Amino acid sequence: MHRRNFLKSASVAAGTAISGTAAATNWHSQPAGLAKNKFKLHYAPHIGMFKNSAGNDPIDQIKFMADQGFTALEDNGMMGRDVALQEKMGAEMARLGMKMGVFVVDKGGNGANTLAAGKPEFVDIFLNGCKRAVEVAKRCNAKYMTVVPGDFERNLPIGIQTGHVIDALRRGADILAPAGLVMVLEPLSDTPNLFLRTSDQTYEICRAVNSPACKILFDVYHMQKNEGHIIPHINWCWNEIGYFQIGDNPGRNEPTTGEINYKNIFKHVYQKAKAENKEFIWGMEHGNARPGKEGEEALIRAYVESDSFTV
């Protein structure tokens, strides 16, 4: 899907750099006398986001994230990494007390095998991805995985398409639920051909699947483009939201670079979740507005600013 292209090259390059000995880098932990950031929320950078500061080795990047105060990681391409690297990344996150965010279920649904079509061969591809995701999750201590149903099947009525998607997701949930895993469905804005487009549509499908293994991935960037009215939509969908992702609009870069008031959104979700004893991971699924190490430092400052809401 086009939605992942801006992350793909950095993630793949970083994945090839791992070795038994940490790569030589010129980054250090927080400067002497400066405490690491104490973020209120579990913000999750992705591999490649801090490559100029930490080098290409994924383990060094994870260490750098932790040194900056980030308490989670997301890695869309985790299923494509070597088993040994999956295990090593999981072990390092556990050592650092970091949570694993989403990875994408490989071939879980796309333009070539849309779940809306109801074709058995497409559903089988999706179910096979769910089965393999269970094993990947064990290696990296993951709980959440992204699923996208794919494109519309435009020769079928919308209700029939929706029924096909629900049927497929119920079967996927039956695979994931016994392992305590959750597929999070992500409505997207990349193209009008995509079947899943809005948070209320995703809410309806999750209610129909009726499983703790099927929830909403509320990507604020995509929802700002498709529907706006962000905080009311979060409230309406609240009971079915399992995960959040971040990206400002326009540009799909860090908070403070576009039109979205992330400080207010973060504060709203923080207070609402705290009242119900909930926690969410916030995947940083966006690019860097500025290049190089300076851009990475600016990104961190943007999160410090956006996280500075009062409670």
pLDDT, tens digit (0-9, with 9 covering 90-100), for 247-268? 999 999 999 999 999 999 999 9
How is residue 149 written in tokens?
């149903």
In this predicted structure, what is the pLDDT of residue 112? 76
What average pLDDT does the segment 281-292 reach? 98
Tell me which residue has tokens 């995960």: 243
Going by pLDDT thresholds of 50, 70 and 90, the confidence category of residue 110 is: low
Distance CA 222, CA 189 (A): 5
The DSSP secondary-structure symbol of 145 reads E
Number of Cβ within 10 Å of residue 13's Cβ equals 13
Number of Cβ within 10 Å of residue 282's Cβ equals 25
Distance CA 226, CA 145 (A): 22
pTM as predicted: 0.90
Whether the predicted pLDDT of 114 surpasses 50 = yes
pLDDT per position as a tens digit, 170-197: 999 999 999 999 999 999 999 999 999 9
Going by pLDDT thresholds of 50, 70 and 90, the confidence category of residue 24 is: very low
pLDDT per position as a tens digit, 198-253: 999 999 999 999 999 999 999 999 999 999 999 999 999 999 999 999 999 999 99
Domains, in order of start, for the chain: 37-306 (3.20.20.150)
In this predicted structure, what is the pLDDT of residue 263? 98
In this predicted structure, what is the pLDDT of residue 22? 38
Q: Is 145 exposed, middle or buried (0-12, 13-18, 19+ CB in 10 A)?
A: buried
Distance CA 45, CA 101 (A): 9
Helix (H, G, I), strand (E, B) or coil at 135: helix
Q: Are 130 and 167 in contact (CB under 8 A)?
A: no
